[in-house]
């Protein structure tokens, strides 16, 4: 399947840990990218290659994968982490797909 699914919304108390997931058959082969997007801004890559962070991304962001599910974890969530988070991957035909996104609310 080329579909990638994400939970529509999650919330976390300030300073607590939150995990969001991305599921799809292509994730068994292709490690996803995770992007943070705030209103009116471009997406920002926060995790790739399962658990690599681009330069400038805080280490409270981490990733993991198991089977057809990949996860993004924020440890010690801050107010500025409130955003939409998208994962993207590919299916076996090479079709690039994005998940529907998870809206993170920091309480």
Partner 1 sequence: EVRLVESGGGLVQPGGSLRLSCVASGFIFSNYWMHWVRQVPGKRPVWISRINSDGGITTYAESVRGRFTISRDNVKNTLYLQMNTLRPEDTAVYFCARDLRGGYIWDFWGQGTLVSASS
x/- mask, partner 1, residues 26-65, rule CB under 8 A, reads ----x--x-x-----xxxxx--xx----x-----------
Residue 98: partners with Cβ closer than 8 Å, 6 or more residues away: 4, 86, 87, 88
Task: Provide, rounded to whole angstroms, the least separation between the CB of residue 19 and partner 1.
Answer: 20
Q: Which of 23, 61, 71, 86 binds partner 1 (CB under 8 A)?
A: 86
Choices 15-23, 60-68, 75-83, 92-100; region in contact with partner 1 by CB under 8 A: 92-100
Nearer to partner 1, 16 or 52 (CB): 52
Beta strands 33-37 and 44-47: pairing type? antiparallel
CA dist., res. 12 & res. 6, Å (int): 16
Structure tokens at 10: 């999650």
């Amino acid at each position: 399947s080329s579909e990638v699914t994400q939970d529509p919304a999650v919330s976390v108390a300030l300073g607590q840990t939150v995990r969001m997931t991305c599921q799809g058959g292509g994730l068994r082969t292709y490690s996803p990218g995770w992007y943070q997007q705030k209103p009116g801004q471009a997406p920002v890559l926060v995790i790739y290659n399962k658990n690599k962070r681009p330069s400038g991304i805080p280490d409270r962001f981490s990733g993991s994968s198991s089977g057809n599910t990949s996860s993004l974890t924020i440890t010690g969530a801050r107010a500025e982490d409130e955003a939409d988070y998208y994962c993207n991957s590919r299916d076996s035909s090479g079709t690039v797909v994005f998940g529907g996104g998870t809206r993170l609310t920091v309480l």
